[in-house]
Amino acid sequence: MATATARLAPDAKGLRRAAELLAGGACVAFPTETVYGLGAAADDPDAVAAIYAAKDRPARNPLIVHVADAAAAAALTRWTELAGRLAERFWPGPLTLVLPRLPTAPLAPAVSAGQSSVAVRVPANPVAQALLRAVGRPLAAPSANPSGRVSPTSADHVLDGLDGRIAAVLDGGATSVGLESTILDLCDGPRVLRHGGVTVEALAEVLGAQPLAPPRDRRGALTAPGLLPSHYAPRAALRLDAETADPGEVLLGFGPVAAAANLSPQGDLEEAARNLFALLRALDGQGVARIAVSPIPETGLGLAINDRLRRAAAPRP
């Protein structure tokens, strides 16, 4: 029988326990500013295998390696001048950089899932920072949810999906950004593979040009690893760009509309990003079967919000 997952306070004792568990090869969930990550020592093949097992994650979907600072990221990758400028501007923070992986990098091969690149990120959340420094090695960490489900923005969300399947969760409260990091591929492009917490407008300021859009095949499907059309799926069915709810639907609003739940009554995209996953879970928890969602503008964080909504609304396999 699986043992229950420990909930650890983000104090010195909790951090010490989390670091011990990680050093022993266990999986521990921890808060980042985006969503909770399911961490394991990135240089330990068995620990990395345990992440894939706990999440039921397809073996072809690579993991983001979390490190304490840009120097640690540069030690794992073929670092570039542009990577340095992006790190200077956005790290610590919700940007993931995909770079060629150094053959000598002490990382379990499964971290890259067959790619010659590796994704690296320096999280800003102080609990994540303290944990990385206590462990003293890179942590591989996907979002701490069963594969294909809504990402967790609180320790309760982590336990909803993974209780009994992981050793512990460090409880750092609700996350501040609320959706995942932006993934920028510097091997090709620079190209955005996934919209997220850093906007393309902000990236363009550093790049001096718009980044390329996520790669798609001829039928328009996203082709980056892990970007399955159906993802972030609540149990409820979603209908997007809805001005009002039809009979049998509950309206998830944005802006000043009469709605059962509202992402941001003020129409603020940062607030909407922070609330998105928690509200989808709450509506699921109420047994809502059909959610209609107000239109969200396609600018700033709206690109990431709309990406998650479209994938939540996509037909399920």
Q: Which residues bind ligand TXA (CB under 6 A)?
A: 32, 34-35, 37, 61-64, 94, 96, 98, 112, 115, 117-119, 121, 141-143, 180-181, 183, 193-194, 224-227
How far apart are CB 94 and ligand TXA at their closest, in Å?
Answer: 6
DSSP 225: T
Nearer to ligand TXA, 114 or 164 (CB): 114
Tokens 């992006």 correspond to what residue? 86
CA angle 269, 270, 273 (to 5 degrees): 85
Q: Which is nearer to Mg ion, 143 or 175 (CB)?
A: 143
Residues 177-236 that bind Mg ion (CB under 5 A): none
- If binding is defined by CB under 5 A, does position 264 make contact with Mg ion? no
**Shortest separation between residue 179's beta carbon and Mg ion, angstroms:** 10
CB of 201 to ligand TXA, least distance (A): 19
Q: Which stretch binds Mg ion (CB under 5 A): 23-31, 99-107, 143-151, 181-189?
A: 143-151
307 binds, among ligand TXA, Mg ion, none (CB under 5 to 8 A by kind): none
Tokens coding 303: 């690109």
Closer of 101 and 194 to Mg ion (Cβ): 194
User: Is the distance from CB of 147 to CB of 10 less than 8 angstroms?
Assistant: no
Task: Please say whether the dihedral angle defined by the alpha carbons of residues 175, 53, 57 and 45, taken in this order, is positive or negative.
Answer: positive
State the angle between helix axes of 81-90 and 200-207 in degrees (0 to 180), rounded to the nearest 10: 130
Window 105 to 134, contacts with Mg ion (CB under 5 A): none
Tell which one of 34, 96, 143, 153 touches Mg ion (CB under 5 A): 143
Q: Which does 115 bind (CB under 5 to 8 A by kind): ligand TXA, Mg ion, none?
A: ligand TXA
Give me the amino acid identity at 31: P
CB 301 within 8 A of CB 269: yes
In 3D space, the residue among 188, 187, 51 whose CA is nearest the CA of residue 110 turns out to be 51
Beta carbons of 292 and 244 less than 8 angstroms apart? yes
Q: How far is the CB of 111 from ligand TXA (least distance, A)?
A: 8
Distance CA 49, CA 40 (A): 9
Interface residues with Mg ion (CB under 5 A) are: 143
